[in-house]
Structure 1
Amino acid sequence: MTFKFAPLDFPAAFKPRSTASFVSIASLVCALGMFPAGSAFAQSQPQTATPQGQVFEEEIVPQRYANNPNVDAFINDMVARYDFDSSALHELFNRVSYSTTAVKLVTPSPSPSIKNWRVYQSRFIEPVRINAGVKFWRANQAALQRASDQYGVPPEVIVGIIGVETIYGKYMGNFRALDALTTLTFDYPNTPNRAERQATFRKNLEDLLVWTRDSQIDPTTVLGSYTGAIGIPQFLPSSIVQYAVDYDGNGRIDLRASPADAIGSVANYLNKHGWETGRPVVWRIAGDVGSQGIAQAAADGQPEPHWSLAQLLKAGMLMNEPALNLASEAGTPVTVVDLPTPARPTEYTLGTKNFYVLTRYNRSFFYALAVYQLGEAVKARIAAGDSGAAPSSAAAVQ
């Protein structure tokens, strides 16, 4: 299937850059770039957040990939499989730069950071993001409602994802996606999962080239995060090809400039990954010592629901959900979500199938719960009739 993507309208679409150009990085949750849209790089455990609006000095090495045998082999494969023009691809890759910064940012810290749910939560469930979410909801109410009706995903969930990813398009990243994806395809740092990540970056590099060609977009003009994630919802190219939709009806898909396209694409992504309409995302566990002990024993880090609610109740777990019909939900599969914070007892909640679907966007319990809580906080403000201009707190978070 061929998608038509909007040409990205940036000033000075392509100019040779110096080896030290300043790049404003998207305010993303994970130190590894918020790996969006269910990519293979979404982390199975939460990472620390990049401070919003932080500016890095991007270090690059121009023409690193000219006359590179690995790149030459890749070009030959693209010619054979997708009918590219060999000379045009060689000319393109002669202009690609190695991003030292991208490599540094995906390289794990030698001293892994300690997981801290309360700190992580405070970065996303806070007044700036909540106020921006209210404004975004008000400005895009029709598209949000239409997406909810069509795909079954409630507005607050869509709003939560876009808010966590880019603060509603405020921080989308200014790395050239072609540079980032080429660098991470051919020069990924030496980590235990290097081969797997290189393979997935290679697939995204392929998809970047195919959809920009089919859409008549100059690939050197496509900007994104340091992992090649693009636009308001931070979709990698492979996710754009599979899940992005033209939701403003103008005949093209533009995830960087069209909030409607971003809304429809996020809803379509969640729908295709199994979102269950009208079902909950989490259930609260009672705070007594027995229930918390059972939760601790059952928390195995697996995001896919694999305990039945009945199993946990039979073991003695109590729920803090007065409206929950325990009998009718006894067979519902859940996972126990652990939320550690240093110097505090670990918090636990139950995640349902919809919680699992959120982890397909980013494989982190912290991320999925932050998305849910941000969406709920914005929804509460909307219900109260707020416009997004007044200060807010996270008191509405459940």
Structure 2
Amino acid sequence: MDLLQDLKWRGIIYQQTDEEGLKELLEKESISIYCGIDPTADSMHIGHLLPFLTLRRFQQHGHRPLPVIGGATGLIGDPSGKSEERNLLTVETVQHNADSIKEQLKRIFDFDGENGAVMVNNYDWTSTTDLVTFLRDIGKHIGVNYMLAKDTIANRLETGISFTEFTYTILQAMDFNHLYETYNCKLQIGGSDQWGNITTGLELIRKKQEEGAKAYGLTIPLVTKADGTKFGKTESGAVWLDAQKTSPYEFYQFWINTADADVVKYLKYFTFLSHEEIESLEQAVETEPHLRKAQKVLAGEMTKLIHGEASLEQAIKISAALFSGDIKSLTASEIKQGFKDVPSFEAEQGELSLVDLLVQAKISPSKRQAREDIQNGAVSINGDKVTNLTHMLSEEDRIEGEFTIIRRGKKKYTMIKYTN
């Protein structure tokens, strides 16, 4: 099965400008392919992953990926999918964001070998183009009527669009033309909302390059969930690739909690497992859904790709400890990950009555209720039940001297943090 057939099997292709022409090109030669991201935040989230993982699939088939950081376009603002103007970011903020995103892209691509990825920033060539040159050499080739017909612009005409965002599609077209000239880049990949920007690039190449010059565009479908809720969102917000924003444990948990109705689609979209491996897991979903084999493989593959083997092992360890209640087996750093979103209470160092702590931390509403909870075996310290009413929390109850995890009932956890 060739690359395009594989992409179709995985459900990754949404639109193509010339399917047969691209198929012939890929069979004939190795080309450079680009996908871009505007650094509007200092981290990518999982909603950004599919186009770049698709770019990596092309690399695995011998083509050169060009991940493009939109250092210039990020200063302008893409009107795609927006009903109002974006707030403009400073040059310093965009540069900081770009540097952070570069490190994340390094985890996805192979930068060595004949078809090693080349990461570029469109600020490098856009910032050196003066206004008159831009208007004469680029803007002259893109008609206003042509731009007004683009959905991304037409949808904004009623609510208003600035000249700044109006020119965004021309800037991205300039990127494609520059990469065509510099890296023999003949294909741009993007999300389904980028179709208008991609085809503007093809129009510029057709008019600027030699007669018969040919380039192609391919878009990826919007990732959806079977229940209609938005992919990539949790109660605490977006699932980021930055471990400081979304810990490897939280990242792992997001994928392992994938619904049966979605897991096979996500295995096809996001992993590099073979057809046979995915079909085997699909069978497991149908015959042994309670084992959640497909979810475990999906979570493992994605966490390993983005955070590495060590972080995956740590995420699995935290998950197992929380499931079994063996809190004492965790380190302080693992406690921070596993209990990041539970209520917390700061207590002073030294011995502290358990009854008093339950009330002070608002785990139990009164001393009377606290005593009942303890006597009834409803209170655990670091996974161990405590039924002694006179129990005093001491150094032995602190994990690495930093935390004590108290559970009341089956699910109500509180993290006790100790001040110096």
TM-score when normalising by structure 1: 0.26
Normalized per residue, the structure richer in strand is 2
Normalized per residue, the structure richer in helix is 2
TM-score when normalising by structure 2: 0.25
If you compute each CA radius of gyration, which structure gives the higher value, 1 or 2?
A: 2
